[in-house]
Amino acid sequence: MFQKSLFIITISLLTFVNLGLGQDVSEVDSLFEEIVEISPDKFDIWLDAAILRKKDSEKPLLFERLIKNRLRNGLFTSDDAIKGVLNSWIKYDWKILLTPEVSIYKIDKLGAVAFIDSVLVLLYKRPLLEINLRRSRQDLINQNVGTGYDNPMSNRLKLITLSNKYRASFVINYYKSCNELASIYLKQGRIEDAEKYFLIPLSYPYYIEEDQSILNELFDLYVIAGKGVLKCRANDLPMLKHTFFIQATRHILDPIKEEMIAKLEKGGKK
């Protein structure tokens, strides 16, 4: 199977070179389904090589068709493959926009935006990819001097809503992981490394969160990090005295800090 996949890739590439990229997609229909069906890693290899051989002035129609057929058939297609075709469309669009004989003020639609729109409806539970594609779509529209894009407010609201939905999950996972790694470092006696990672959750203004459940979880992570930093500084009196926390957490963290300071001032060490 591995040799067959490589054979398909090799023959496909040679065929594209012989036919000349940019020709009508019907000229390579005999290979189309074979390329669609190859494994994700082999498809990425094939696509990367084929894109390199395409001129910026040629529409990446075949690549777009391959991507969409894979998605329709439920075949995993990597983010890199989709972004590779998007970048190919962007290069084509700018090649056209920068052509002197083309009036850029007559450009109503960009091929890259049309590609994004056609891919978005085919995605299934790919939130990060969807967010990145919608962000790229908005950036392209913002840069485009033409017209033809309706309801820009709706597009931005969709992007904000979708991004925010997953932002909280990533934020919580990130700070939880920082605390966990810092705790491991602390047990190993790697105080500087531990403090470095405990400080990361302390830098986030968790109180800006509107969702109470998210706010509560980030509050707990902040307190854990605060206790960790105090442990890291347990034998450093000047640093303890210059350690401060958000007001809402001081009723928990300040008593611990003051106890440590009192012990050090009396000459005792934990």
Name the token pair of 204. Answer: 């986030």
Contacts with 173 (C-beta within 8 Å, 6 or more apart), sequence order: none
Among 21, 13, 132, smallest CA distance to 83 is for 132
Residue with tokens 């509560």: 216
Q: Measured between alpha carbons, how far is 126 from 123 in angstroms, rounded to an integer?
A: 6
pLDDT of residue 226: 97
pLDDT of residue 270: 45
Per-residue pLDDT 10s for the chain (270 aa) are 544 554 455 455 445 544 444 444 454 556 677 788 888 999 999 899 888 888 888 889 989 999 999 999 999 999 999 999 999 999 888 887 766 555 444 445 678 888 999 999 999 989 889 989 988 888 887 776 445 565 566 777 888 888 887 888 889 999 999 999 999 999 999 999 999 999 999 998 888 888 888 899 999 999 999 999 999 999 999 999 999 999 999 999 999 999 999 999 887 544
pTM of the model: 0.67
Query: Domain spans of the chain?
Result: 2-149, 168-265
User: CA neighbours within 13 Å on the CB side: how many for 89?
Assistant: 24
Name the token pair of 159. Answer: 């992007």
